[in-house]
Amino acid sequence: MQKIQQYTTLQKQKVSDGFDEMFSGGVKVTLMFEDNSWRAMGGGLVRFKPFARTAWHSHPAGQTLIVLEGEIITQAEGEEARILTKGKIISCPPNLKHWHGSTEKGGVHIALTGVENKESVKWLEKVDNQECKSSNTFGTFLPFCISSKNGSKLFYASLIAF
């Protein structure tokens, strides 16, 4: 392996739509870098359209999210959902079931995801309306949208701002 620094730009990286099995709503993912022989993590820039979100998932080697724009919602299983804004950092330990997405403002975050045994994520079921509605017993009610084959349906998720 040649020991030189490598340089690229986000504009040169591939941008893809989030897969329906993993996301609800409009999501664009830019793969910034992958794990390799000397880096045990991958990095991506994730852009959420208003009300978009991931399915429930976990990471065998953990994940760190850095909010760049808008409002990012995150919730770990058994915890209250939280709204995070520009400059906030979310540290998710290994194997913690969670999801993240955006409010009506949309949102952008960088995801730094550890890799263990060539695996970085375990995708689970989609977050359903009832889980969002009951995610918190106090806080501000915000509209949240879920995509369906019949179009979008509006419902409310109770969230607390961080």
131 falls within a domain: no
148 falls within a domain: no
The Cα–Cα gap between 112 and 108 comes to: 13
Give me the CATH number covering residue 107: 2.60.120.10
84 falls within a domain: yes
DSSP 8-state class, residue 55: P
User: Tens digits of per-residue pLDDT, 96-146?
Assistant: 999 999 999 999 999 999 999 999 999 999 987 555 555 542 234 344 433
pTM (2 decimals)? Answer: 0.78
59 falls within a domain: yes
Sequence-distant (≥ 6) Cβ neighbours of residue 14 within 8 angstroms: 30, 31
Q: What is the pLDDT of residue 148?
A: 32
Provide the number of structural domains found in the chain.
1
134 falls within a domain: no
Q: Which range marks the domain in which residue 41 is found?
A: 10-125
Among candidates 60, 134, 149, 142, which has minimal Cα distance to 104? 142
User: Tens digits of per-residue pLDDT, 133-155?
Assistant: 555 422 343 444 333 333 333 33
95 falls within a domain: yes
91 falls within a domain: yes
The residues facing 142 across adjacent strands are 157
User: Tens digits of per-residue pLDDT, 1-59?
Assistant: 568 888 888 888 888 888 888 999 999 999 999 999 999 999 999 999 999 999 999 99
154 falls within a domain: no
